[in-house]
Amino acid sequence: MKRILIVTGQSGSGKSSALQVLEDLGYYCIDNLPLALLPEIVSKLDHENNLEQLALGVDVRSTQADLEEFDTVFEQLKKHGSVDVIYLSTSDGQLIARFSASRRPHPLSGRCKSLNECIQEEKSLLLPIQLRSTVNIDTTDKSVHDLKHTLLSKLGQSDKLILILQSFGYKHGIPLDADYVFDVRHLPNPHWDLKLRKLSGLDEPVQKFLVESDQVNEMYDDIHTFLNKWLPAFAEGHRHYLTVSIGCTGGQHRSVYIVDRLKKALEANWSIQILHREMKHWS
């Protein structure tokens, strides 16, 4: 067996949807088995089947003792192939809204007095698995389509680093699944020019406005130099992906421009995925 994915995370964060995406990608998927049984089942599958890709769904319904022994299970699974842990998380407010909309009980509802207590207790129980996670995805603002795109980007080819460049707006929240975040809110803002306000950092008038600023060019040069220096080290460390997020106030002009400029400069040497998180908010 070449690759094993353990898919877990907070209840309501999209684990079932992630497993469906992985099944479409050719993974053999198993969900809701007790952690303690996984090594034996994987060993049997590896011996009797010619499986190259296996995805295992794990959640808080495993016993607390099993969750606390996750490191042991993880090491046993590594005997059968490379193991990655995909951990899905969502903001507390969004989880509460999702459970309220679905009217489904939280798996820990019988042990806790309130939904918020369930959410906090689940985070604590899943911490041993989260600490082993190699792929972290925040699904707070993601649709099923967005989740599929993110999984495709972050899993990629195991022997080639994928650089994910993401623009975002601070007023919509910081992306929790970023490896590096650069703040460009101090740069000149095209928003205050009424002729540019409705455009984005992908439009030529906005790009012309920004490239004429020494401050913008210096900030771009610093980020570009940093990535040029350290991307080879990440690649040599067998990372599957690196997410670099650039943030301005609204995620429409400055951050989008910097991301687009970095893409053009780096795409000759690196596999790059682009995500403009706030595109749906652009005027």
For residue 271, the cross-strand partners are 162
Q: Of 129, 155, 181, which residue is a domain's last?
A: 155
Rounded Cα distance between 88 and 140, Å, is: 10
Q: How many domains does one find in the chain?
A: 2
Place of tokens 């004429």: 212
Residues 26 and 65 in one domain: yes
- In Å, what is the CA distance from 112 to each residue of 14, 92, 122, 126, 230? 22, 16, 10, 16, 45
Annotated binding site for ATP: 9-16
pLDDT at residue 258 tops 90: yes
Neighbours of 146 (CB within 10 A): 15
Q: What is the mean pLDDT of the chain?
A: 90
Residues 228 and 143 in one domain: no
- In Å, what is the CA distance from 108 to each residue of 97, 123, 218, 222? 17, 11, 51, 47
Residues 210 and 256 in one domain: yes
Annotated binding site: 9-16, 59-62
- Rounded to 10°, the helix 204-211/254-266 angle is 90
Q: Of 155, 181, 200, which residue is a domain's last?
A: 155
Most confident of the following: 20-24, 45-49, 122-126, 192-196: 192-196
Reported as a pLDDT band with limits 50, 70 and 90, residue 261 is very high
% residues pLDDT > 70 (the chain): 96
Residues 128 and 207 in one domain: no
Region of poorest pLDDT, from 74-78, 114-118, 153-157, 171-175: 153-157
Q: Of 105, 120, 155, which residue is a domain's last?
A: 155
% residues pLDDT > 90 (the chain): 60
Reported as a pLDDT band with limits 50, 70 and 90, residue 91 is very high
Q: Whole domain around residue 262: which residue ranges?
A: 162-281
Residues 96 and 178 in one domain: no
Instruction: Report the CATH number at residue 132.
Output: 3.40.50.300
Annotated binding site for GTP: 59-62
Residues 128 and 225 in one domain: no
pLDDT at 143: 85
Give tens-digit pLDDT for 124-152: 999 999 998 988 999 998 888 888 878 87
Rg (CA), the chain: 21
pLDDT at 158: 45
The two tokens of residue 177 are 């699944």
